[in-house]
């Protein structure tokens, strides 16, 4: 059975920001759109605001005046729900409460035709639960838009246990007709985006909990990895009360699975009213004063070495060889290369500068048999285009590097990169390790010797969470990648990161976290293990 919703009258219930955005998109796509809100006058007010918005878009040349007038003419504000009897599609965007949504859907069944599709814009409530008690639950589907609706391309099409496949596909096709990218998801806590995103906040909060780094350093490192906002500034923007509530919801909905456990750091902030931008203070202050700049250390050129060897086969090793060659060129010589090593990094005389594989610098010092060890984070952004590696000077001067380094918290020379030193490292190596990173084009960010540092552990856990989502049938890899890029503006999708890294590499970091923290939170997804049986 094929269902075509491209020309049906649309009813939107809820005249808030999300509902109004859905009305705008549907009206511009040519639908007759009815808008209803239980608050007296709210639907009419929303229609007037939409008329002004469309008029402004026409004045700016983003929309023709005829198209704006036609869209406005297709929008009707209703004062009674029963006036929407001829709606072929209903999209609800009311308060995020199960009883309210379930009650609305039951009421709608007595108003619209039996073949009308009922869609919920819920971001977290089970579609199956909303459909409980409906006479025809097969026609109920999730149609989760992202804010602001007219600009954000992603729509999660969420199927409950009784949703008919033809209904889900019809909604996906309609979303595409509206200029959106539709991804199919199973109705599970958080769907795709809100579930897979949890580690982006959780790993930073865990590092803050153990005082491994400041919010400024953590944000700088993750911006350098390509994220538009660091997790601390993003949580400040979202509001810690909202972010904490979502985390609690996902935690409870997953029967208190330790992977989703909320943070004591964030709970304390919410309890103290430090909610972020909305309250004037969160991790940062927003009460008129300029943000305190991130201290930038100035490093002299590294001391002349007798021998420098690049170890390993990975893309990071290739990039290191090029940047080290550029750094040593003024001295008239270059590094050696040892491809058969089981670690990636630089051997600089008796010292080691090692790419994190999850092990701490302390553990690496023991494993490599030298106290002079520094471990550095995974330079994710630079590895997304391995066919065009850049040497250190290029990294520092590139437009991308400059953009990622610039923020409200200050500007950094080069690309921010976390590093940690082994406890037994000599004073000389404590000075030389960051000097070498700076010479290679990075802005070295010292952090505590935590497993996986900042970017590597965050990306590994994002990949691990996405792998579990695929394992459990929530979505497929392509949907996970599209959802995270379009729904949250991630620089890449989890499976794109995995393709540029490796299954053993991700597993190594997650296992190192598990060894360090001894709990259920850092368990490797069986999906990853099955891709690489030797890691099982």
Question: Which residues belong to the active site?
Answer: 123, 144, 156, 194
User: Do residues 84 and 112 touch, judged by C-beta distance below 8 A?
Assistant: yes
User: How large is the C-alpha radius of gyration of the chain?
Assistant: 26
Measured CA to CA in angstroms, residue 527 lies from 148, 252, 475, 521 at distances of: 34, 24, 13, 16
Residue 91's beta-bridge partner residues?
12, 119
Length of the chain: 536
Left if phi > 0, otherwise alpha if psi is -120 to 50, otherwise beta: which for 98?
Answer: alpha
With H, G, I as helix, E, B as strand and everything else as coil, classify residue 99. Answer: helix
Which DSSP string corresponds to 232-279?
Answer: HHHHHHH-HHHHHHHHHHHHHHTTT-GGGPPPHHHHHHHHTT--BGGG
Q: Give the integer Cα–Cα distance in Å for 229 and 220.
A: 9
State both tokens at 193. Answer: 């985006």
For the sheet containing 373-376, what is the strand order?
Answer: 336-338, 308-311, 345-348, 351-355, 373-376, 415-421, 442-446
Q: How many CB atoms lie within 10 A of CB 214?
A: 18
Cα–Cα nearest to 504, from 477, 534, 481: 534
Q: Which residue has the tokens 């602001």?
A: 148
Strands 75-77 and 154-159: unpaired
DSSP secondary-structure letter at 290? P
Sign of CA dihedral 468, 469, 472, 473: negative
Burial class (CB in 10 A: 0-12, 13-18, 19+), 120: buried
Angle of the 198-209 helix axis to the 455-471 helix axis, nearest 10: 140
Q: Which long-range contacts (CB under 8 A, 24 or more apart) does 262-267 make?
A: 263/201, 263/202, 263/205, 263/206, 263/208, 263/209, 264/209, 265/205, 265/208, 265/209, 266/205, 266/235, 266/240
Question: What totals of helices (H) and strands (E) does the chain contain, helices first?
Answer: 23, 15
Q: How many CB atoms lie within 10 A of CB 221?
A: 26
Sign of CA dihedral 159, 164, 169, 171: negative
SS3 content of the chain, % helix, strand, coil (to 5): 45, 15, 40
């Amino acid at each position: 059975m094929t269902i075509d919703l491209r020309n049906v009258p649309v009813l939107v219930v809820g005249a808030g920001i999300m509902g109004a955005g859905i009305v705008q998109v549907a009206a511009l796509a040519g639908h007759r759109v009815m808008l209803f809100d239980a608050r007296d006058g709210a639907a009419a007010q929303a229609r007037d605001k939409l008329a002004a918005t469309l008029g402004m878009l026409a004045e700016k040349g983003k929309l023709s005046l005829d198209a704006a007038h036609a869209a406005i003419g297709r929008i009707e504000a209703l004062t009674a729900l029963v006036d929407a009897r001829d709606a072929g599609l209903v999209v609800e965007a009311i308060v995020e409460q199960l009883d309210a949504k379930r009650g609305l859907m039951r009421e709608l069944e007595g108003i619209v035709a039996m073949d009308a599709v009922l869609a919920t814009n819920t971001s977290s409530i089970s579609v199956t639960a909303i459909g409980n008690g409906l006479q025809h639950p097969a026609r109920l589907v999730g149609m989760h838009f992202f804010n602001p609706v007219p600009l954000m391309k992603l729509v999660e099409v969420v199927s409950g246990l009784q949703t008919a496949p033809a209904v889900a596909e019809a909604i996906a096709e309609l979303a595409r007709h509206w200029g959106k990218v539709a991804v199919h998801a199973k109705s599970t806590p958080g769907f795709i985006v809100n579930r897979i995103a949890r580690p982006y906040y959780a790993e930073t909060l865990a590092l803050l909990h153990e005082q491994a780094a400041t919010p400024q350093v953590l944000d700088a490192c993750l911006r350098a990895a390509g994220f538009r906002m660091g997790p601390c500034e993003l949580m400040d923007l979202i509001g810690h009360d909202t972010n904490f509530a979502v985390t609690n919801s996902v935690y409870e909905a997953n029967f208190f699975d330790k992977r989703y456990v909320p943070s004591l750091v964030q709970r304390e902030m919410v309890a103290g009213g430090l909610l972020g931008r909305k309250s004037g203070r969160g991790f940062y202050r927003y009460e008129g004063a300029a943000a305190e700049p991130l201290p930038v250390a100035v490093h002299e050129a590294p001391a002349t070495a007798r021998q420098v060897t690049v170890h390993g086969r990975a893309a990071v090793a290739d990039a290191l060889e090029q940047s080290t060659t550029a750094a040593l060129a003024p001295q008239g010589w270059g590094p050696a290369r040892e491809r058969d090593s089981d670690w990636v990094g630089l051997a600089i005389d008796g010292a080691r500068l090692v790419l994190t594989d999850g092990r701490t610098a302390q553990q690496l010092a023991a494993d490599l048999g030298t106290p002079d060890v520094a471990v550095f984070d995974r330079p994710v952004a630079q590895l997304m285009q391995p066919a065009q590696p850049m040497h250190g000077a290029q990294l520092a001067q590139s437009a991308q590097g400059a953009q990622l380094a610039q923020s409200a918290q200050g500007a950094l020379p080069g690309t921010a990169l976390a590093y940690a030193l082994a406890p037994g490292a000599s004073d000389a190596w404590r000075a030389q390790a960051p000097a070498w990173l700076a010479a290679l084009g990075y802005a070295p960010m010292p952090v505590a010797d935590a497993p996986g540092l900042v970017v590597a552990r965050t990306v590994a856990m994002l990949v691990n969470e996405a792998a579990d989502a695929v394992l459990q049938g929530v979505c497929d890899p392509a949907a996970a990648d599209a959802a995270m890029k379009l729904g949250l503006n991630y620089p890449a999708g989890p499976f794109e990161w995995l393709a540029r890294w490796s299954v053993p590499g991700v597993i190594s970091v997650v296992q190192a976290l598990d060894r360090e923290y001894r709990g259920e939170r850092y368990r490797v997804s069986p999906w990853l293990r099955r891709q690489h049986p030797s890691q099982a």
